Structure 1
Amino acid sequence: MSVEHGTTCPLQCPQRLLCLSSQNFIQAKRSRKRDAVLSFVSRRLKGLLSGLSSVGPKSSQVSNSIQPRASSGSFRQLNQAAKPFKTGRLQVTQLHSLYFEVYGNPNGQPAVVFHGGPGAGCYANHARFFNLNHYKVVLVDQRGCGRSTPLGCLEDNNTAALVADFEALREALGIDRWLLFGGSWGVTLSLAYARAHSHRVTGIILRGICLMRPSEIQWMYGGGAGNLAPAAWSSFTADLGKRELKNPLAAYHKRLTSPKDANSRDAAAKAWMGWEMSVGFGLSDNLQRWNGQKWDPAGSQPIKPPSPPSVLVNGTQHAAQPSSKGSPRAASAMQTPAQASASSSNSSDAGSSSSSSPAPGSISTSVAQAMLECHYSFNNAFLEDEPLLEGLDPLRSIPCIAVQGRLDFVCPPRTAYDLHLAWPEMELLIVPGAGHSMYNPGIQQELLKATDRMRFLAQPQSGIDRRQVPVQRARSMASI
């Protein structure tokens, strides 16, 4: 037996020297301590990871980091469809009458939808962005569109008048304060209303940020967006003369608001809506191929021999047609709100259908929308004297969540970023890979989350100024 002299034996053996057996004892003791430490660390790590996974979905709603793109199967679907519990009309002037619907819980938290366009009208599906067990949701067709009358009327139709209409509707429905939910043009109108009546607003949810500034209008109708959809832009400007090409918006304004006849007006409206749908919903992710006659998704069809130049021009016009595989909003853009709800899971919620067979001398809702969009765009939304980015101080204490598609070519992210700079308390979410549609899976999911969160954020705050409270900063702004 070998021994190591000069060391006390922990086994208290007679030799009181560290023998080989005592060395084994010490090594075993150290090994047990190491195993115990490793086991403790492992249990702690598992506990921490389990805790993180249990709060992951909840905390991701307020995370400042860029969120990974979820698979299509993991996106939230719209809430269940329901019928309105109240419908009606509000006579706001001797000329204009507004159609409205109210969905959800009569005693729920009030919310109002500001639809886009201008002139697009409200759809029953808009109410499905809210949990109708908790919300009381008001949908209203703005002046001159949808089921409001007279359809397509431009007289007394401006932003200040629309703001006054919403305030009159709030009073008529006996609502003290409400949540604002607006997309695209609805962003402009929501902010204009909130600026004028901030004490009536509990919170704001925005999608596809649009402020109707001259630079934004020039982008859409001055050729900027045409660089992204050149075939569609060629179709949009095909019937304009050389002088008109210098200002396509003015040319269309004349054709839509002071037409020679109804046929020329309707042709201009068709071209206008075709251009808008092409930019907003018609830019396909599929490989596109010119087959000698027209553009189509590349497939197995053989390429035909080149056609004469005259056919190529007609083929370019075909390319401007919007994709039938776009969003639900794109597919129903030419329908009335009643028709759109009928094509969803809420067909019993139909109503009048003014665009299916217009009466002689009347106009369709799509023509009315083109007229209203052109009317507001040509006049810079009647906001030149009061740009929306100026005078935002009354809004900065109001909770606001804004959702913006990174690939939105109708309302590019630059506008969202400018609003963020002017309103740093606002929470801004940039959705990767998403365009303009509120039905894009990523945008739809963030809007559903926003309405859920606003049930708690949009409560009376007893005079608390949110500018003095830690706020949610914009997500992924550094990479815009």
Structure 2
Amino acid sequence: MKTLYPPIEPYRSGHLDTGDGHSVYWEQCGNPDGIPVVFLHGGPGAGCSPQHRRLFDPARYNIMLFDQRGCGRSRPHAELENNTTWHLVADIERLRDMAGAEQWLVFGGSWGSSLALAYAETHPERTSGLILRGIFTVRQSEIDWYYQEGASWLFPDLWEGFLAPIAEDERHDLVGAYRRRLTHDDPAVRIEAARAWSRWEGSTIKLVPDAALIDSFTGDEFAIAFARIENHYFVHKGWLEDEQLIRNAHRLKDIPGVIIQGRYDAATPPRTAWDLHRAWPEAAFHMIGDAGHAYDEAGILDQLIRATDGFADKL
């Protein structure tokens, strides 16, 4: 089984001034003369970690990672103004231009797969390849599954914790109810909602629960950005038409791609990955039979490293 490359540090980092109130943290790692690749983290609102640098052979790749607007080391923290899918697509283009890359490989998991699809369908000429994991396309049915009814049937005990901050008469629209709390004037109301929202995700994304992961999701700074930004994007349906990313998958026909999906992914169920596979049959498709949603589950990680190694050989 393939696993992560050894730890590395950035050779260059900084902040991109977007010109509309955001300062986006970015870093480059690996070989400055290597194959350009951009890593798109999940959430939205999760930020990057040092582990993400290790998904790529540092001798062969020039790796760009960045914390999307409002999260991680980007500032202002948890800011929702001027924070949409299309702002992020524009940020990716600014970073590509800054890096001096004509094209680059685009790697995205979970929400990162949504953003990767939005970017590649908008800028296919700038995309040398796509590696997608835990496919999510921000369809209303996908949002409803995880935040209204669906995954709740698999985790009824954990679901009670997600419902706890929400009054009974508001539970017909949980995303909307959380929106009111995550944007509330009272910081105590915001943090209670943010912890409950983030704990739900941290508790359900792995096939085997990981206590350390759950703890990391419920720390105040992470939870506020993660919950506020995720909820903001889902209230607005990602600023996408409902089937847009699947419908426009024909634009990817000439882009080499790999789709990797956990069979028991409760956060982004395999139906979406299968729909994308049918719409984009040219991409390789891997269903991992003993995995959930997280990138570092053994079978998923093995295929991700095989994909990045394979693209390094081709590109």
TM-score band, normalised by the shorter chain? over 0.9
What residue is the counterpart of 2:106 in the other structure?
Answer: 180
SS in 2 for 1:391: helix
1:97 pairs, out of 11, 23, 38, with 23
Once the two structures are TM-superposed, the CA of residue 365 in structure 1 deviates from its matched residue by 2.8
Aligned runs of 1:305-344 on 2, under 5 Å? 323-324=210-211, 332-334=216-218
Once the two structures are TM-superposed, the CA of residue 77 in structure 1 deviates from its matched residue by 2.3
SS in 2 for 1:99: strand
What residue is the counterpart of 1:248 in the other structure?
Answer: 174
CA distance in 1, matches of 2:243, 2:100: 29
* Aligned CA distance change for structure 1 residues 331 and 128 (closer, same or farther; 3 Å): farther
CA distance in 2, matches of 1:331, 1:107: 38
- For the pair 1:418 / 2:271, whether they are aligned, the reply is no
1:388 pairs, out of 245, 250, 266, with 245
SS in 2 for 1:243: helix
Once the two structures are TM-superposed, the CA of residue 455 in structure 1 deviates from its matched residue by 1.5
CA distance in 2, matches of 1:127, 1:256: 31
Aligned runs of 1:207-356 on 2, under 5 Å? 207-257=133-183, 259-281=184-206, 284=208, 323-324=210-211, 332-334=216-218
Letter aligned with residue 227 of structure 1: W
After TM superposition, the score normalised by the length of structure 1 is 0.64
Runs of 4+ that moved beyond 6 A: none
Letter aligned with residue 115 of structure 1: H
Gaps of 5+ in 1: 1-74, 285-321, 336-354, 356-363, 460-480
* Aligned CA distance change for structure 1 residues 386 and 169 (closer, same or farther; 3 Å): farther
Q: Is the 8 A contact 1:229 1:278 kept in 2?
A: no
Letter aligned with residue 136 of structure 1: N
2:306 pairs, out of 440, 446, 449, with 449
What residue is the counterpart of 1:158 in the other structure?
Answer: 84
What residue is the counterpart of 2:40 in the other structure?
Answer: 114
Once the two structures are TM-superposed, the CA of residue 239 in structure 1 deviates from its matched residue by 3.1
Q: Is the 8 A contact 2:38 2:106 kept in 1?
A: yes
Letter aligned with residue 96 of structure 1: H
Fraction of identical pairs, as percent: 44
What residue is the counterpart of 2:124 in the other structure?
Answer: 198
CA distance in 2, matches of 1:404, 1:436: 8
- RMSD (Å) for aligned C-alpha atoms: 1.5
- For the pair 1:409 / 2:266, whether they are aligned, the reply is yes
CA distance in 2, matches of 1:137, 1:330: 28
CA distance in 2, matches of 1:84, 1:334: 27
SS in 1 for 2:24: strand
Answer with 1 or 2: which has the greater Rg. Answer: 1
SS in 1 for 2:245: coil
Q: Is the 8 A contact 1:179 1:203 kept in 2?
A: yes
Gaps of 5+ in 2: none
SS in 1 for 2:131: strand
CA distance in 2, matches of 1:82, 1:240: 43
Once the two structures are TM-superposed, the CA of residue 334 in structure 1 deviates from its matched residue by 4.9
CA distance in 1, matches of 2:313, 2:169: 55
After TM superposition, the score normalised by the length of structure 2 is 0.96
CA distance in 2, matches of 1:268, 1:332: 16
* Aligned CA distance change for structure 1 residues 106 and 331 (closer, same or farther; 3 Å): farther
What residue is the counterpart of 1:376 in the other structure?
Answer: 233
Once the two structures are TM-superposed, the CA of residue 368 in structure 1 deviates from its matched residue by 1.0
CA distance in 2, matches of 1:365, 1:174: 32
SS in 2 for 1:388: helix
Q: Which has the higher contact order (CA 8 A, sep 6+)?
A: 2
Once the two structures are TM-superposed, the CA of residue 324 in structure 1 deviates from its matched residue by 1.4
Once the two structures are TM-superposed, the CA of residue 385 in structure 1 deviates from its matched residue by 6.9
Once the two structures are TM-superposed, the CA of residue 332 in structure 1 deviates from its matched residue by 3.8
CA distance in 2, matches of 1:323, 1:128: 20
Once the two structures are TM-superposed, the CA of residue 331 in structure 1 deviates from its matched residue by 5.7
CA distance in 2, matches of 1:110, 1:195: 19
Aligned residues: 315
- For the pair 1:86 / 2:46, whether they are aligned, the reply is no
